[in-house]
Amino acid sequence: MNNVEMMPVNSSNVSEVGYDEQDQIVYVRFLNGSLYIYKGVPKHEFDGLLNAASVGSYLHRNYKNVYPYERLE
């Protein structure tokens, strides 16, 4: 994870998120413990996720089927 700082978020589905600005990778840990990465995400998109009223809805609307992702854990 390249020492990416994970920040807790207030969400019914997501526990924490982090961003690797150099590689443009967003890390998303869900409440069930699974960890996903989303690749090629610009900084403004991560800021949008971090500040969204609903993190889960924002993730679904702005990330899913937009950025390639994979499950790490």
pLDDT tens digits for 52-71? 999 999 999 999 999 999 99
User: Considering only CA atoms, which of 29, 33, 59 is closest in space to residue 46?
Assistant: 59
Model confidence over 21-42: pLDDT tens digits? 999 999 999 999 999 999 999 9
Does a structural domain hold residue 1?
A: no
Kindly report the pTM of this predicted structure.
Answer: 0.94
Residue 10 lies in a domain: yes
The answer to whether position 19 is within a domain reads: yes
Angstrom distance (rounded) from CA 66 to CA 43: 15
At 52, is the secondary structure helix, strand, or coil?
coil
Contacts of 40 (CB under 8 A, 6+ apart): 24, 67, 68
Predicted local distance difference test score (pLDDT) of residue 54: 96
Q: How many domains does the chain have?
A: 1
Asked if the model's pLDDT at residue 3 lies above 90, the reply is no
Q: Which structural domain, as residue segments, surrounds residue 67?
A: 6-71
pLDDT at 23: 96
